[in-house]
Structures are given as C-alpha cells and as structure tokens.
Structure 1
Amino acid sequence: MKLGIMQPYFFPYIGYWQLIKTVDTYVIYDDVNYKKKGWINRNIILVNGEEMAISLKITKVSQNKRINEIEIENDVIYNKKLLKTIKETYSKAPYFHEVFNLIENVINQKETNLAKYLTNSIQEICKYLNIQTTILLSSDLKKNEVLKGQDKILEICELLSAKEYVNAYGGLSLYSSMDFESKGVKLKLIKTNDIAYSQKELANFVPNLSIIDVMMFNSPVKISAMLDDFTVIKDFAPQIHSVSISD
C-alpha cells in the first residue's frame, strides 16, 4: 500500500493533488501545530495578471495550537468579497461555471473547524477531479502522541501497513531513506515536472498557483493527465536531519 501524509491546505497547488492521486491512502495531518504565514489557510491566484493572496479568515490563531484546534471566522461579508474577487478574475475562463459553483459551495460551507473545513474542500475537489484515493485524518488514528517528526510518520506507516511512503520532493531534507527501509517501508519522493497551460491573455505562464487557476482553465480530463506529470525519485543519498518536520 502506498501512503502519503501532509497537512491540509487551502486550495493548494497542483503538486499537492499529484501526491494524493499517486497514493492509495492519504492522511491529512491535522494534529500538528499550525504555522503562521504558511499555506494552510491561504493561497495565490492571478488578478489582472498579478499574483494575489486569497485566504480564509481564521480566529484565535496560535502556533501553539494544532491545525484541528483552529476555528474559522464565518464572516459572510468577507466570504462574499472573496467569491467576488474569484468571480471577477475568472469569469471568462473556459471552465468558470462548474468550477465556481464548486468553489462557492466550499467557501460557503458551515463548518468552522479549520481542519474539517479543509478536509471537506479536499474531498470535494477530489470528487471533481475523479481522484479515488482513500482519505483519512491523522487525528482519527490511535498513535503515540509523544513521537515527533519522522518517527511519527513511521508510526503511521506501521499503523496503516504501508509498504511505500510517498512525499513531495521537499522531503529530501526531512527524511532518511535508510530509516524507512529499516522499518520495511520504501521511501519515494515525487517532483512536479514543468506544467504549463493557457492563462487567458498572459504571454508568460505563472506556475504553482492555487488549484483554482488550474481548474478554471483545464478540463478534469486534462488535469488528470497533469496529475501524472511528475518524476519519481527512488534512489537518493541518506540525508542528515538538519531540518525537523512538524510535530
């Protein structure tokens, strides 16, 4: 069984969805600490050809809280403005109507827990993109809460009987392939290839935007092909753990 684990994000970039699609089971890492100025509750779209941040309005934020302890401030006026920005930006995009309806339903959902809200949005986008991966919440797994970093990931691999653990290429500096192999798990990293598509009248493609941008300009079938457009890194030297991952 191939396993992937990552924090939930707000309409994340295409590499996030590549990871979900390529594994059998995907664990949303919702019981690790929230990081301020990260991508958990924000992302980037293009507005008038320029990159602009969009975000969820959250309350009582603290890096001492876990993601599943953060609440969303369900501000109707704020959400209307956010949807207006997205609508005005992408109204002429070829897949605007079906995608905007999806985004509107996600943003207007009544869920106020950040982790559950983001999980709902991830599941809805998976349905739209016909991704069949099983999705679980880390907080639903009975595990040793004392473990941290790589050891916590390895425990989840053991709990779910994973034979392969797949991570985004950034994991090269976070994990040791030898440590995984010692537990009977093959560590693989995936690196998104150069993916480009037409973004209205823009002459120069802007990569790594929110999946919103990808969905507005491409059909689910075309996006499915994009989700397979990555390089698998199987063999790499063991890394020195100079960087620690979230607890």
Structure 2
Amino acid sequence: MINTLGIMQPYFFPYLGYFQLIASVERGILFDTVQYKRKSWMNRNRVLDDKGGWQYITVPVKAGDGILIENTQVIDPASALKRIQGQLQHYRACAPFFQQTLHLLDQSFESARSLSIGELNTQALKVICEYLGIAFNWVPCSEMKLELPPITHAGQWALEISSLLGARRYINAPGGREIFIPREWEKRGIELRFLKPSPFTYPTAPYPFIENLSILDVLMWNEPEVIVDYIRKHTECVV
C-alpha cells in the first residue's frame, strides 16, 4: 500500500515544480515506456542567456518514429555537456552558486549508466535531490515490468498504475488536468489531487527574472536550504 504516488515523464533538468512533486509523494514513477516526443522537455530546457532573455540547453538524441523514451539514445553526451557548460558561463560573474551547479551538471552526466535519455534524466533528478536533501524514491516504469490492462485514454495510465500499486492518493503536476476523469478515480477509491502552481521568485541581477526556467537556474541563485524551505512551505495539493 502506498499513501501517495506521482508519475512523470523523465524531463531534462526540469523546473522547480517537478521537485515540488517529488517532495510531495511517498513514491514516484518515471514514465519512460511511452513514445518520445520531439521538441519536448525530454531533452531540452531553458536557462538565462547573456542578453537578458532565455535560451535552450539541449542534448541531441537519436529517435526514430515510435521509439520509446527508454530506448531514445543521447548522441555524443560528452560534446553535449561541453556545449551546455559553455552556455552557462555568463552565470559565473554574478550567480553565487555557479560552481556548485556546474558540478551537479557534470555529476549528472557522469552518473548515467547508459546513453538513454531516460537514464540521463533519472540520474540528474537523483543528483539534484541528493544535493537538496530531498528523498528520491522514484524508479523508471521500464524497470517495473507492470502488467496493465488495455488503456483507452491518456489519463488511464496513471489510474491503472495507481490501482496496481495500491496507492491511496495520486498527485499530478498542475498541467494535464483535462486528461483525467474524476469519477473513474472515485470508483477505485483513490484520491486524485493536483499541485497548485506556486511560482518561486528570486534575485537574478543583472539579468531580469524569468519564471519557470530549468532547475539549473534556480540552483545558480539560491542555496539549497532556501529552495527546500520554499518547497516545504509553498507546495499545496488541491482537488
């Protein structure tokens, strides 16, 4: 029996809300058994650029039609890491936690046991959670070998996984509410909840603050205790 369950695709250095979800659930599943989508958060995210706007950081992947996330391979991760390191250099002069954040980036790439984008993203989440002191009890769906019934709509994946694992409550990120059918959850006796958006603002001078950038930007400007304190005090689940 699991008190709270969360399910998310393994995104690339995602925004702070992803870590609010991690901190809100007893157990989580990285949903890597669905098709990879091009131009998604799977292999890119946003950070500040040196002109006052934002830019993408990206790892190139080899992904044919219909390939699953678990089988999507990173192309030349060493070159991708070097390029991203270069894109972050303008933070050096003004972000107080530049060195720590760059170390987390390096550690994430070094920890990956394969070229899978799912594996890289899983390790990045784990490395950052360890740095923040957040328990990371999430596993890739591909490693669980779950036997699920036929799925008829997008919101049913989470429902069937929650039922199979005996979850009492399922918590979803703020987006995607429209894919769920509440009465299905009521029939199973599972509480369906959603994180309430709670933007985290912080000083980024001389650059303007831009909301919902990669966790790398949050880490550049804030010490771990401040980030975790915000997560604990401003994470709310609603119906």
TM superposition score normalised by structure 1: 0.88
> 1:54, 1:82 within 8 Å by CA — same for their partners in 2?
yes
TM-fit CA distance, 1:91: 4.6
Indicate yes or no: 2:225 matched with 1:225: no
Q: How far does the alpha carbon of each residue in 1:137-160 deviate from its partner, in whole angstroms, 9 at most, with x for none?
A: 111222227425222211211222
Summarize the alignment of residues 44-193 of structure 1 with structure 2, pairs less than 5 Å apart. 44-48=46-50, 49-59=52-62, 61-109=63-111, 111-141=114-144, 142-144=146-148, 146-147=150-151, 149-193=154-198
> SS in structure 1 opposite 2:195?
strand
Specify the alignment match of 2:29 in structure 1. 27
Change (3 A) 1:91 1:181: farther
Change (3 A) 1:221 1:58: same
Aligned counterparts of 1:63 and 1:162: Cα–Cα separation in 2 = 34
Specify the alignment match of 1:239 in structure 2. none
TM-fit CA distance, 1:39: 0.8
Unaligned residue ranges in structure 1 (runs of 5+)? 235-247
> 2:32, 2:118 within 8 Å by CA — same for their partners in 1?
yes
> SS in structure 2 opposite 1:45?
strand
TM-fit CA distance, 1:104: 1.6
Indicate yes or no: 2:12 matched with 1:10: yes
Aligned counterparts of 1:10 and 1:182: Cα–Cα separation in 2 = 35
Unaligned residue ranges in structure 2 (runs of 5+)? none
TM superposition score normalised by structure 2: 0.90
Summarize the alignment of residues 205-216 of structure 1 with structure 2, pairs less than 5 Å apart. 205-216=209-220
> SS in structure 1 opposite 2:40?
coil
Aligned counterparts of 2:118 and 2:176: Cα–Cα separation in 1 = 22
Identity %: 30
Change (3 A) 1:63 1:25: farther
Aligned counterparts of 1:40 and 1:81: Cα–Cα separation in 2 = 18
Q: Which amino acid aligns with 2:31?
A: Y
**Which deviates more, 143-152 or 166-175?**
143-152
> SS in structure 2 opposite 1:157?
helix
Aligned counterparts of 2:168 and 2:12: Cα–Cα separation in 1 = 29
> SS in structure 2 opposite 1:187?
strand
TM-fit CA distance, 1:225: 2.0
Change (3 A) 1:75 1:137: closer
Indicate yes or no: 2:201 matched with 1:196: yes
Aligned counterparts of 2:139 and 2:222: Cα–Cα separation in 1 = 28
